[in-house]
Amino acid sequence: MVRWCLLIGMTILAANQHSEAGDEVTPHVVLGIHGGIGEDKKDMTPELEVKVRAALNAALKAGKLKLDEGGSSLDAIEAAIRVMEDDPVLNAGRGAVFTHEGRNELDASIMDGKTKKAGSVASVTVIKNPISAARAVMEKSKHVMLIGRGAEVFATRQGLEIVDPNYFWTKHQWDSISEIWKQEAAEEAKKKGNCDENSTSESPSLRKPHFGTVGAVAIDKNGNLAAGTSTGGMTNKMFGRVGDSPIIGAGTYAENETAAISCTGHGEFFIRFAVSHEIVSQIKYKKVTAKEAVEDVINGQLKGVNAEGAAIVLDKHGQFTTARNSEGLYRGWITSEGKTQVRLYDE
């Protein structure tokens, strides 16, 4: 009896160790995607939910089509992420957040699990699809990472689509940065003792920055894994700030021996904890499952320092899972038979 109680107690303890906000392990997955940690549930509207679900479904469809046509995991990643970059509802490409200075600076990376080749771009302002630029860096340059003007000149020379920076202007992201500017101005005025009589007596708490990102992990018929991530970064970031998304080993990693990973969350922490590489290292050296590794990093290490975020993982056996310490994670996955799941919060 005592032994049973102890066993039940230990099971409950183990189950409560993590937020349990990750998804179950799903086998036979060929493509998994995320659209970032998204809005807090209280800010989600039915209209927005429809748009987010449509964006994720379209991305899964585009990526799966590539695989069905015999394309590689890299083709699937690029196709799925391009769809999410083109959709203004997600924080990547078209829907990118604004910097403190009111500009859009985009980051992206891609990694091939077979060769461990990788490419990334950071702080780009005119490349319509940064994920395609990242792939071009990987395949058509001798470098891994290009930033700013250099990346833009390279993308232009590669014939990638270049747009006016205004292409990335969206009303909802402009409203978001405008609200932050207002709050910062009010804080500043308060510090100087300049509150005018129209300002509220309560100090407005600064809006939580938006850490949205999009990403994908895939495996093709040859068993080759790939991963990619793209983002507008963090709302109100300083110009020139680069997060984890274009950093190989932080926001993105893939190797055929273990798994493919794409992350979303507070980039500074994901860089410091080398999150995606930490996950594959745990699988490789600690001999734990992908699920155990991702839970340890997201709900153990990162949660321990109050770093918000999530990761999606596809292991070499086609088993897909996620872990998050955030309320939501826009995500979806599709199996080789075309069985699709799209989820935003606990479902």
* 231 belongs to the binding site for ligand GLY (CB under 6 A): yes
Q: Tokens 């930490």: give the residue.
A: 278
- Phi, psi of 236, rounded to the nearest 5 degrees: 70, 20
Q: Are 114 and 89 in contact (CB under 8 A)?
A: no
User: Which positions from 240 through 299 interact with ligand GLY, judged by CB under 6 A?
Assistant: 243-245, 264-267
Site for ligand GLY in 32-61 (CB under 6 A): none
**3 state SS of 274:** coil
Least distance from ligand GLY to the Cβ atom of residue 280, Å: 18
Active site residue 213: yes
Please identify, among the stretches 24-32, 38-46, 217-225, 227-235, the one whose residues bind ligand GLY according to the rule CB under 6 A.
227-235
Measured distance CA(132)–CA(153) in Å, rounded: 14
63 binds ligand GLY (CB under 6 A): no
Residues contacting ligand GLY: total by CB under 6 A: 12
226 vs 247, beta carbon nearer ligand GLY: 247
Angle between helices 130-140 and 73-86 (to 10 degrees): 150
Supply the minimum distance, in Å, between the C-beta of residue 115 and ligand GLY.
Answer: 25
Q: Closest approach of Cβ 43 to ligand GLY, in Å?
A: 19
> Of residues 26, 170, 213, 229, which has the active-site annotation?
213
Tokens of 290: 């992908």
Regarding 109 and contact with ligand GLY (CB under 6 A), the answer is: no
Question: Residue 78's closest CA among 55, 62, 92, 94?
Answer: 62
Name the residue nearer to ligand GLY (CB basis): 230 or 256: 230
Q: Which amino acid is at 293?
A: A
Least separation in angstroms between CB 254 and ligand GLY: 17
Distance from chain centroid for Cα 237: 16
CA atoms within 13 A on the CB side of 272: 9
Known catalytic residues? 213
Catalog residues that contact ligand GLY under the rule CB under 6 A.
Answer: 211, 213, 231, 233-234, 243-245, 264-267
